[in-house]
Structures are given as structure tokens and as C-alpha cells.
Chains A and B, each alone.
Chain A
Amino acid sequence: MASNGHGHPPAPKAPPAPPPPSALDAPIPSKRMVFNMGPSHPATHGVTKFIVELDGEMVTDAKIEIGYLHRGFEKSCENVTWTQVFPYTDRLNYVSSIVNNVGYALAVEKLIKLDVPERAKYLRVITSELHRICDHLTVVGATGLELGAMTVVIFAVEVRDLVWDRLTELCGARLTSNYCRIGGVARDIPDGWIEKTLKTLDRVAAMRDEIAALLNRNRIFLDRTRGVGPISGADAIDFGWTGPCLRATGVPYDVRKASPYLVYDRLDFDVPVGSNGDTFDRYLVRLEELRQSDRIVRQALKQMEPGEIIVQDFRYALPPKPLVYGTIEGVMAHFKQIMEGIKVPAGEAYSYTEAPNGELGFYLVSDGGGRPYKIGLRAPVWGMLTALPHMVKGRLFADLVPVYDSINYIAGEVEQ
């Protein structure tokens, strides 16, 4: 240490002087204010109400009120046959309905101990991943939209519609696909579908990269998302988070890897993780998962071989129509399956799959009859929603919107 020559220790360095007071930073006396946001608000996607307590622009407390979209999903399922539940699952996370179909079908098949044909497994994976692409495109686009980047959402929706066109060719509906059946899937792919799908994937990849170019280094976007609504991995696990939001905190949990189902163990894909757990990481993880889903679909299309698409067993699959109209055996099997429902052995099962938002769990109880005795749904967004007040407390009110968007709240699956 240099001496000043007088034997005195050097005087401690004075702390940096505070910046001169500015009129802009002057504390403005504010009043605590409580107000409602929603239930019908452009940024609340569907119907949810926030009760927000503000101190100036700062959120001091927040509460979420759900129940504006009560669908009675679980109860309704008790009044229909096991097969008739499929259309109800379409309307859980309605942007990725086939993923819900698959989750439910796997739960019932777990209870029956039924293995489905190989081709059906591949078709389920392909359609699930296509729907995951739709879902992530929607969220990525909407994140831009919430922050004023209208172009992004228009780009995203444009290619999402291309994917929906492919799914329409497969199952006849854009949104409510109702594609799975217990024991397989409803229809095989039409002629030329694979080539069309590959072309669509190319378009999606191009648009995905364009979106990334628009947002990843966009100053406004970065300012509004980086460090906004962060959560630690431990907290996220405590709140019951799964899916891309959990992975954004650095926890590499993906049901497709942790407990592979269908043919995911034969496919090569990575699990992207973030590091900060903030809104920007959640966006980045989804963007990267678009890439991984693309890889999965291409591999699965290559590996898939011709074969049955549903089990050939009159207990579970409807007989072909000529048999129904022409033989007593066929008409009986058809009648019993339609009127009484598939007989699922008495017992209970929990089955979980990776939905675009996280772990989608179905807990089923059967009394051996043709209708579910009880269905319990583990909606992935539920955990994220409960953590929302924790994430926005002490932050600017304007941050509520991107944070809320990034957890991708879907009223259809939370409100059962």
C-alpha cells in the first residue's frame, strides 16, 4: 500500500457520492390502492380476475380469482363412457388437444394393462409434438404481443395455422381434434401427409428463426422480460411447477426423459434448461423446445412403419363398419361398446405425460363399469398460477402481464 510519507495510514476512500437529487427520483407520496383486473381483460387470456394491491406502480400484493369458466370437467366425465371422455379432454389445454387425448388414453390403458400397436404409438408422438409446436408458438407469439410486438404473434399464428391444417387433414378439426381412442388412434394418416408435414415443419423452422431474430436481442423485449418474474428452482418445485417454466429455472425435469412413454426412449432429443427462471428464460426454453419437437417429429416420421393403428380387440376397439352392418357379432360388439362403454377393470391409476405446460396427470378410478367412477386431473398450470402472486409482489405493475403470459395460464384446464 502506498504511503503518503507522513506515516499516517491512508484515509479511507470516501464512498461514492450519491448522485445529485433529481426531480425525477423524488419520492411521490402515494396511496395504497386495490383494484380488479379482469375477469374480462385483454391481457387475462380467458377469464381470470386479479385483485391487485398497488403502492404507486409497485404491486404490494396480488390475489387471483378463478372460477369464471367452471366446466365441471371431472364431474361430467363420470356421466359418459370412457371413450366419450376424449372430447372433454380436447377442451383442457385447447391449443394442444391431442396431448391431452394421449395423456388420458395412456391412463386408461394403464388401468386396462393394454399395449397399443407401434404405429399408433408413433402417430400419438407425432401429433403430440405437432401440437406442442402449436402451443409453444402461441405462447412465444403472445409474449411478444403483450409487450407490443404485434408482428411476432402474427408470424406465429400464421405458421401455427399451417400445422393445424395438417392436423385437420388427419382428424378433421383444427382445435378439437378428438384423435386418440383407447387402444390406439382414430384414423391413419392420409396419402402424402408426411411430405406435406415435412414442408410445414420447414416453414415453422424458418418462422421460428425469424421470431428469434426479432426478439432475442430486442432491447425493449429484453428490458421487459429479463429479470422479470424470476423464481428459484427450489421455490418452483415447492410450488409444484413442471414443464418449460420449471426447466427455465435450471431443473432438467421432463417426463419424456424422466419416465419415457410411448416411443420417446427411441427418439433423440435434448431437454433445454434456463438459468435465471425469469420471463426471458421461459421464452427461450419454449423457443428451443420448438426446435426439439421439430427433431422429434422428423425422426418419428422416419421410424414409423405401416401397421395397425388400433388394437384388434372387440373389447376396446369398434369393429369395422362392414362387420357392424353385416354380422350379428359386429353389431353386438358395436352396440355394447357404444351403449355400455368399454369395460375397464376395477382399480385406480395415475398416469402422467409431458404436456406443453408441464406434467399433465390423470388419476382414474374405475368400478369395473363402462363409465369412469372418478377422474382427477392434475393441470400443469395450477402450480404456476398459485406462484404468480409470489412472482409479481414488489415488482412493477406493468410486469404482471408478461409474467402472467409466460406461465401460459389456460382456464380450460385449471378450472375443472
Chain B
Amino acid sequence: MAEENKPAAPAAAPPKPAGPPAPPPPKNPGFVTASIDGKEVVVKPGTTVIEAAKSVGIDIPFYCYHKRLSIAANCRMCLVEMSNAPMGKLMPGCQMAVAEGVTVKTDTPRVKDQQRAVLEFLLLNHPVDCAICDQAGECKLQDYYMKFDRQPSRLDMPKVKKGKRVALGPLVVIDQERCILCTRCVRFMREVAKAPQLGVAERGNESFITTFPGQPLDSKYSGNVVDICPVGALTSTDFRFRGRVWFMSSARSVCTGCARGCNTFLDYLNDTTYRYRPRENDAVNQEWMCDDGRLTYKPLNQGRVLHAREGRAGQGAQVAQPAAVARAAKALDRHAKAGTLGILLSPTASLEDLLVAATVAKDLLGAKEVFVGGRADGWQDDFLKRADQNPNRKGLELVAQAFGLAVRPAADLAAAVAAGTVKGVWAVGAETPDAALASKIAAAQDLVVQATNEGPLSAGATVLLPAAPHSEMDGTFVQFEGKAQRFEMAYFPRGDARPHWALAAAVGASLGAKLAFASGREVFAALGPKLGTALGDFKWDALASIGRRFGIVPLAAGTVDGRLAPNRDRMPNETGEDYRRAIARTS
């Protein structure tokens, strides 16, 4: 040790008064070194025991702790033995910081007894609800009971009765009997949503979570309390009783509600999306999302365009897709040659869609400018939500720039149609800021629309092609800060729908170009380099792994062979899309 090597103090120095020995110097200066279950951990000063243990692969159970919220230490599930604890008491691992030289033990009989006791108390008044509870399958009570308790009930008196279905606000319902009073929701509303609308009322075993009288839980971030509730107390009015989580699979996706691009899990079963859940990404959305974004999955299921149509709505007839594509290409070619073609791109389409569309527009139709549609602006705050309600406006601008196409607003297209300078329109994505604008554009002589959903513009289409939304394709969105974010296909496109890029490539092929892509990956590999360095170090295949799902691992939804969603990639990349769809139908 350094002090032992020092030369002896001069004999003349007066003797120091006796006192407690000075603490030894830290083993790793600037860091704290401790031992957890015999493993040495070196962490920054102030790191809690839970986080330190996690860094060496030891999981300490907890309910109330949340790394993005303040510490409550009220669930007592994380109690561990620490060598510096006063009177040898068990200490809450979520609250205690690791100190130099401390020995932590998380698996002694005492700790295990304590965990069992805590669980017995938590379950004492818990209703027998698993069969009807939406949380079943992703419930931490179930997980920890099987892991740490496993004892039968010893309760011989009636359970306490509380509010069973109390609507807290438009999106959240509480079952106060199931609640374990961890107060995560209370802390979230106070600290993250900055809208302290929840609190604990009453005392002891009568206490419950509630809102203030007459004040509903109407914050725009209220949906997050459902996600962070470790039990089935807070449930979403939108998802309640609609599906069992163990049947569903999750795809890594991106919310399309605004230009923020919150990372999400898209939970699906067969070809239906059931809900979005926020996915952790410190750089974009931490692990939250807004209520409006949460509900933007609905158009994936409803009001879809699933078959090609010729003729405007009401007089149109369903036709085979190749015939519709050929007719569309012919009309576009005629207008391109006559100089009366306008091209409307949607900032809700993916980067891959826009790359192919821009290639066709520039190289085959000789376009010099594109018009930008997209949804109208909405509300904005200083947390997550952006006013621009399109997920890929930045991507559209990058593509237009790369291809040297001028970008003009959709209103200019409406004016050009009204003035008669544009007679044919190709819309890649049918979103327009308002219906009036759409009907003005729909006045064009020929209107080729690729649309995911029915809307005012698709109603006026002379040729309508069914497009696949982001749940049904692999692709990329560029959010407003310029971060390119991948999303993965959850299920194969419904009906005859195809991604915009496939439809655009088919139109291009009808015009005589050699354009054929088997996948979004191929599109990006072929055309992505045109964007130069605009996407920074983005790599198409580097979608963060989600690892193993917490709780029940479902068999892949809608398949019989049990492959989970990520494993479908085992299908060779060169497998054609038609073949993939054929396989999807048989499984």
C-alpha cells in the first residue's frame, strides 16, 4: 500500500490523538469498488446497488424502482444484505449507493425469506384475477411469485375490497384491488409528464391511487403509466380485453404520429396490429411516447386500400394489379411527355419508397420538381410531440436533394391543376393536409394514387394502387433531427398491398426501366448511396436487438412452426417477395 511505503514520520511530530482509523484509499481512484455476491463491481460513485448488480449480471427484483423516476423504496422487494448496514438490517438496493469496500449479498437465506415475506404481503389482498387480467403474461407479480415465493396462501379472512374499474381518464382505467401501491404512476406524472394528476388517497391497507375530484387523468402522456405499472392495476381503455399478450409478437417499429419518431414495439397477431408500446432509445424518446402517437396504429387495421381500382370512387372497378400498373404507367408517360405531369410525394412514406419513387420520377418521367403532401400540422410541446405529424419529412427532403428535385408544397400542385398546367398527377402516398386541397388535386384528368388508406385523394383516383404501411414492410424513417431509424416488417402485406417502392418500381418497369427489388434492403443497397453522407453512420441492418421478451415467450403469431419474428430472417435474403407471401399464406 502507498502509505506503508512512505518514509517514517519525524520522531519530533506530536502523536496524533487516537480516533477511528482512516478509511483505506479507493482501490480504483475516481470509482467505487465493491463486491456483490462475490463478484467485484467497479462503478461510478452514487450508483445504486440495483444498477451495480445489473452491470455484473445479477438481477435484484423490484417493483417501485424505475431508473428514470425518483427513488421511493416502498415496495421492499429489493432488500439485500450490505456489510455497512446499520445493525445488520436489510437495505433497499434501489436506494443505497454502493460504497467503497462494501460487500453485498443478494441470495442469502435471509434475503430470500424477506422476498417471500414481501410477496406474501403484496398478494394478501390481491384479487384472483389472472384469468381476466390484461397484464397476465407480462405481470411482475406472476414472475416474481414463481421465482421467489411459490408458497400457498395463508390468508383465512376476506380480502379488502376497493374500486374495481375506475376510469381515471380517457385512456386509463384503474383496478385499485390489483394495485400494489408502488407509486410509479404518481411519480411519472409528477416528474416526467409534469402534470401531477395522480396521488395516493387513504391510509394503510385502505390506500389507493386516484385522481383529484373532478380532475381526470387527461395529460397527453397518461398512457405511459399503463406501461410502467408492474401489475394489472392500470390498463389501457384502448387495449383492454382486446387480446392476450402471449399470443402476440412484437416488431421493432417507429411511431408515425409525428416527426419525433419515437421508437416502438408494434404488437401484432396474424395481420392485425393491437398496440404500440414505447421502446427504449435514450437519444429520441427515452422510453415514453404520447397518447396520440399510441393510437396511430388504428389506420393500419381500418379503412385500408387492399386492391387495385380503376376509375374514380363510385364508378371504379377492382382490377388486377399488373393491369392497373400498366395503365398508370401509360397515363403518367403521356403526361410526362406533354409536360403536364405533377408528382406528389408523401412524407409519411419511407426512405426506400421515396428513393424508388424519385428514381422513377427523375429518370423515367423527367421530373424536375416534386410536390409534398402529408398530414397537416398538429399540437407541439417541449417534450416529445412535434407539430409536424409526418414521420419522414426530413427523409423526403434528403431524397429530393440527392436527386436534384425541387420541393414545392401541395398547395402549388392544387393551383397548377386548377390552372390547367398539370393534368396528370402521380401521388406516392395519399395524405394531404386537408380534404379541400385533395379534392382540388383530384380534379386532374388522370390521377394515379398509391394509398394505404381510403381518403379524399384516393376517392378521386383514376388508378388506385394499394400500398403497404410501415407495419407491413422493412424500411427507414428519418426523424426531424436527421436520425435515420429502421423499422421492421411485422407481418406480410394485407390483400394485394405492396410497399410504395414495389409499386413505384412496377410503374418504372412498365415504362421500360430495369427496376426490380426483392426487399427494402435491396432498395437501400442500390439507391441509398445516392444520399451520400446525409445519414451519418446509419447502417440498414443494425436494428438494435430486443433480446428475449420479458415473461411468456409466445410462439410466433400466426405461424405453426414456432419461429419468433426475428428468426423469419432465416429465409434467404434473395427469396422473392411473391414467394415470401406465398409462404405467409400457408403458415
**A interface, CB within 8 angstroms of B:** 78-79, 313-315, 319, 323, 325-333, 335-336, 339-340, 343, 369-370
Partner of A328, one of B130, B137, B551, B562: B130
Known A328-B123, A333-B150, A335-B142; 11 more pairs at CB < 8 Å? A79-B555, A315-B146, A326-B128, A328-B129, A329-B152, A330-B153, A331-B128, A332-B141, A333-B146, A336-B143, A336-B145
Which residues of chain B are near A333, meaning CB under 8 Å?
145-146, 150
A370→B146 CA distance, assembly (Å) = 13
Q: How far is the CB of B75 from chain A (nearest CB, A)?
A: 17
Total contacts A-B at CB 8 Å: 63
Which residues of chain A are near B552, meaning CB under 8 Å?
339-340
**B interface, CB within 8 angstroms of A:** 123, 126-131, 136-137, 141-143, 145-146, 149-153, 155, 246, 551-553, 555, 561-562
Which residues of chain B are near A78, meaning CB under 8 Å?
562
**A332:B127 contact, CB within 8 angstroms:** no
A327→B158 CA distance, assembly (Å) = 11
**B145:A332 contact, CB within 8 angstroms:** yes
Which residues of chain B are near A369, meaning CB under 8 Å?
553
Q: Report if A327-B141 is in contact (Cβ < 8 Å); known contacts: A79-B562, A332-B146.
A: no
Partner of B150, one of A313, A323, A328, A331: A313
**A335:B136 contact, CB within 8 angstroms:** yes
Which residues of chain A are near B137, meaning CB under 8 Å?
339
21 contacts between A and B (CB under 8 A): A314-B146, A315-B146, A319-B152, A323-B153, A325-B128, A327-B152, A327-B155, A328-B129, A329-B149, A329-B151, A329-B152, A330-B153, A331-B130, A332-B130, A332-B142, A332-B145, A332-B146, A333-B145, A335-B130, A336-B145, A339-B552
A333→B152 CA distance, assembly (Å) = 9
Partner of A339, one of B129, B145, B152, B246: B246
**A327:B128 contact, CB within 8 angstroms:** yes
Which chain B residue has the least Cβ–Cβ distance from A335? B130
**B152:A330 contact, CB within 8 angstroms:** yes
**B142:A323 contact, CB within 8 angstroms:** no
Which residues of chain B are near A370, meaning CB under 8 Å?
553
Which residues of chain A are near B123, meaning CB under 8 Å?
328-329
A329→B144 CA distance, assembly (Å) = 11
**A331:B131 contact, CB within 8 angstroms:** yes
Which chain B residue has the least Cβ–Cβ distance from A327? B153
**A336:B146 contact, CB within 8 angstroms:** yes
Q: How far is the CB of A336 from chain B (nearest CB, A)?
A: 5
A343→B551 CA distance, assembly (Å) = 12
Which residues of chain B are near A340, meaning CB under 8 Å?
551-553
Which residues of chain A are near B146, meaning CB under 8 Å?
314-315, 332-333, 336, 343
A328→B127 CA distance, assembly (Å) = 6
Which residues of chain A are near B149, meaning CB under 8 Å?
329
A298→B115 CA distance, assembly (Å) = 48
Which chain A residue has the least Cβ–Cβ distance from B119? A329
Which residues of chain B are near A314, meaning CB under 8 Å?
146, 150-152
Which chain A residue has the least Cβ–Cβ distance from B136? A335
Which residues of chain B are near A330, meaning CB under 8 Å?
152-153
A40→B252 CA distance, assembly (Å) = 51
Which residues of chain A are near B150, meaning CB under 8 Å?
313-315, 333
Q: Report if A328-B128 is in contact (Cβ < 8 Å); known contacts: A79-B561, A315-B150, A339-B137.
A: yes
Instruction: Choose among A314, A329, A340 the residue with the greatest number of B CB atoms under 10 Å from its CB.
Output: A329
Which chain A residue has the least Cβ–Cβ distance from B151? A329
A328→B135 CA distance, assembly (Å) = 14
Q: How far is the CB of B161 from chain A (nearest CB, A)?
A: 15
A1→B123 CA distance, assembly (Å) = 106
8 closest A-B pairs by beta carbon, nearest first, are A327-B153, A79-B562, A314-B150, A336-B146, A329-B153, A328-B126, A332-B145, A331-B130
Which residues of chain A are near B141, meaning CB under 8 Å?
332
A327→B123 CA distance, assembly (Å) = 9
**B128:A323 contact, CB within 8 angstroms:** no
Q: How far is the CB of B414 from chain A (nearest CB, A)?
A: 55
Q: How far is the CB of B566 from chain A (nearest CB, A)?
A: 16
**B152:A323 contact, CB within 8 angstroms:** yes
**B142:A336 contact, CB within 8 angstroms:** yes
Q: How far is the CB of A326 from chain B (nearest CB, A)?
A: 7
